[in-house]
Amino acid sequence: MVGVNQQAGNKHHLVFAYYITGHGFGHATRVVDVVRHLIAAGHDVHVVTGAPDFVFTSDIQSPNLYIRKVLLDCGAVQADALTVDRLASLEKYSQTAVVPRASILATEVEWLNSIKADLVVSDVVPVACRAAADAGIRSVCVTNFSWDFIYAEYVMAAGHNHRSIVWQIAEDYSHCEFLLRLPGYCPMPAFRDVIDVPLVVRRIHKSRSEVRKELGISEDMKVVIFNFGGQPAGWKLKEEWLPAGWLCLVCGASDNQVLPPNFVKLAKDVYTPDLIAASDCMLGKIGYGTVSEALAYKLPFVFVRRDYFNEEPFLRNMLEYYHGGVEMIRRDLLVGHWKPYLERALKLSPCYEGGINGGEVAALILQETASGKNYSSDKLSGARRLRDAIVLGYQLQRAPGRDISIPEWYSLSLKMRCIENFELLHGDLHGLPDTMAFLKSLSGLHTETDSGKSTEKRQIRERAAAAALFDWEEEIYIARAPGRLDVMGGIADYSGSLVLQMPIKEACHVAVQRNHPFKQKLWKHAEARQQAKGQGPILQIVSFGSELSNRAPTFDMDLSDFFDGDKPVSYEVAYKYFSQDPSQKWASYVAGTILVLMIELGVRFSESISILVSSAVPEGKGVSSSAAVEVATMSAIAAAHGLNIDPRNLAILCQKESKVVGAPCGVMDQMASACGEANKLLAMVCQPAEVKELVTIPTHIRFWGIDSGIRHSVGGTDYGSVRIGAFMGRKMIKSVANALLSRSSNSTTLPQEVDENDEHEINLFQAEAELDYLCNLSTHRYEAVYAKQLPESILGETFLNKYVDHNDTATTIDPKHCYAVKAPARHPVYENFRVQAFKSLLTAATSDEQLSALGELMYQCHYGYNDCGLGSDGTDRLVKLVQEVQHRPSHDGTPSLLGAKITGGGSGGSVCVIGRNCIRSSEEILEIQQRYKAATGHLPFIFEGSSPGAGKFGYLKVRRKADASHRAPLIYVQIAKKDRKQA
């Protein structure tokens, strides 16, 4: 890991005083990860806390950690395990922090000076901020809520007797320089400036299998971790509360508590993140610690509400937004009616894909602040503080006893916080960080239009072109489509196979705007052309990232070029049009969607169109960057023109664009990009494109993609030749079946392989004589009847003379080329069988045999590609590395990585790897990455994570706010783990 100190470039030792509120363990546990990074950078951290030492020492063993046992606030006092006593909370805070306030301030100022603190950090002790100010030391808060907001509603129950507490707390916080705000936050108007950081969570030390082995829990046992501090007095857990085959790990059980045999009492100092890795779901109360770790490690969370704790609704909304929560009725918790909730939890697919490195991000900012850096004032803070203050005032004026709720307008403002320069007129960001980043980049373009300059020198050409692309007063439509990881199916798609495809995290964003030709801003050369030819609708495209791919960043054309008279030109004419300039051939993937809509749906485009393409899907790595561009572009154009095209039909239309591009391909890439869902495999039968179901990826299984560095292209001769060979094989099989059928009908002496009395056999020959898809032929029929009838290869001319055509509209046979036939025809027949078996195994009971079989099927697929001639040295090397890691001895005797295969069209690109969902498998993937680099010099790109397809995303419609030109774009501070590992 690159040290925080290295990244900041500091040269001196720093001292931090870190104050932790006395409310629960959640604050202390999240502080651990921030402190760990500060200490790893060589600094001293003095933690001021009432939490037990083991909370810190279980993860940090360093002489630079100092623990000072002092309690300077009290949090919320609970009347019972699930109810906050509001009046008692205010009374205790008064006795803890208000009555002795003068003494506390004097003591803390003296102590801070004695340790020579460079920065005070508070989570989230109010008086610490005032003490820091009195000592002349800068202070920063790190939190998702503040006590003024939590206590705001309590003063209603207290008859306003303690309202001064709220104002005093807010005044204390106002001395803080800025707030590092964590996800799931409440309104906090007291803080002047805000920087949003990712989730702060503790790291996992041990894998699922390691923890289960230590606890003696088998892999087939379902485990719920009961993370529930302060259990009701006299409450007894009973054996029958758990379904059969379940085990409950109990945190915080009292020493004298007797548990049934299916409940396991955990040690007081147990490290819960490891237990989370070993569990199937969690049961407990909502708090930042439980919610953040459940989201980070994708653990379904069965929660019970608490009364009067105002932080909870915001965390609950976040948990439910990412499909990670099941609410349990309190009565059902207490009487043991747990089964339906636990079973429902197992059906959830938590989909949080945001950053979980908040500890590192926060530590870096804290260190830079302690070193003297001044973070610029957020110009949006005034509006944010006003908005938060309104909600705080709303809390203070609520009727006593009224249920906690979040105003709808505030919830909407939270979702829009990342696009402050735009009005979101339609759509949902879906919490996708790449969409937020794209909108931020888009909002920055109008600033470049206003200022006439760009700070990104490497991309200055494309950004300058993009800055002049849109009319910022008009609506812009945005679509998003991910790439895909071919888990199983691959090249068998064009033969009608079942395929399993996972949409990846990396995606393409496309922004589209339509304008009247007289109003569209034109580049100078386009304007000159229009003056010469006459005014008409024009298409202008800018592609970000062109400098990295050595292609032209812009493309423009008159839309009249798509017409021959009053009819659209053919796909063949369009292919020749885009092939004229190789540096601009990329534009065929974008502009071609317009021609497809014209030909297939009869759409006429009378207005000019401006398109901005920004794709994070790496090209040439076999993860279908082209399909992502096609699907995102057509989705955005359809939205801008009011076309309602369902995801399946949109994918089929995008596949037709292959005729414009000149790259023969099946439809699975576009279907996965359009119809896929996060953390699910799209199961589709390519006949031509029938989605069977979305198969949830089991929680104990994970997929990765590893890039070989060898560029893949479906336009390559190998892919096209193999496809032609497969269609030749189908034509030959149909011819053999016809001959056998004819002989069986007209001759009394049938060939040996035909039983004259078996009408079923004749029916089979009839079906096979009309074989529409090669994958409809079973493996046993292929081997029994046709395998020996197919030649290893055949000259194109010989085939054409005998069979006339191979009946594939996407490819053309070269008479002088010799095509392999047997291997390309055999592969899809067997691949279809393998994919069906793979899908069935995915939903089978968890076992070592299940995992082993899944991996073996992937290996068989890989070698099938090689038999077809679609392998490569790079992908073979990666698969061999996976096998070496899989088969070496391990401490528990079970492998973490299970199998691998080449993906997509083959001949390079990436391999897909299957493994157990545990820490060890992730470490082994990184090991393979480094070993591959050592052997080849290429550091592979690793694909991990998933995201929704274009259909699930929908589209966004945005418009620049009237006063947006006077605002600075919102700053996001986030360190990408992937970039650190490659540094």
Q: Looking at 33, 193, 669, 808, which residue is catalytic? A: 669
Q: Which two tokens stand for residue 334?
A: 């207490």
Using N-to-C axis directions, what is the helix angle for 625-640 and 647-656, rounded to 10°?
120
Rounded to 5°, angle at Cα 875 from 481 and 865: 85
Yes or no: say if 851 and 701 are a contact pair by the CB < 8 Å rule. yes
Report which DSSP code applies to 307. B
Helix (H, G, I), strand (E, B) or coil at 344: helix
Radius of gyration of the CA atoms of the chain, in A = 32
Q: Which two tokens stand for residue 783?
A: 């081997």
What contacts 672, CB < 8 A, 6 or more positions away? 484, 501, 502, 503, 624, 627, 682, 684, 949
Yes or no: say if 696 and 500 are a contact pair by the CB < 8 Å rule. no
Among 943, 931, 894, which Cα is nearest to 207's? Answer: 894
Using N-to-C axis directions, what is the helix angle for 848-868 and 822-842, rounded to 10°?
160
Residue 213 to residue 892: CA distance in whole angstroms: 8
What DSSP letter does each residue of 174-202 carry, written as one string?
TTSSEEEEPSSPPP-TT-S-EEE---B-P
Residue 821 to residue 962: CA distance in whole angstroms: 63
Q: How far is CA 889 from CA 841, 884, 931, in A?
A: 26, 10, 18
What is the DSSP pairing of strand 910-916 with strand 897-902? antiparallel
Q: Which two tokens stand for residue 49?
A: 């806390």
Among 667, 724, 971, which Cα is nearest to 869's? Answer: 724
Using N-to-C axis directions, what is the helix angle for 358-370 and 26-40, rounded to 10°?
60
What DSSP letter does each residue of 211-233 carry, written as one string?
HHHHHT--TTSEEEEEE-SSPPT
Asked about 718 being catalytic, the answer comes back as no
Residue 428: HSE in the Cβ half-sphere, 13 Å Cα cutoff: 11
What are the phi and psi torsion angles at 4 (to 5°)? Answer: -60, -40
Q: Which two tokens stand for residue 388?
A: 């938060």
Q: Which two tokens stand for residue 139?
A: 């202070």
What are the phi and psi torsion angles at 391 (to 5°)? Answer: -65, -40
Q: Which two tokens stand for residue 487?
A: 């888990």
What are the phi and psi torsion angles at 697 (to 5°)? Answer: -70, 120
| Look-up of token digits 């320089």 | 177
Among 232, 248, 251, which Cα is nearest to 240's? Answer: 248
What is the DSSP pairing of strand 608-615 with strand 538-543? parallel
Task: Report the catalytic residues.
Answer: 669
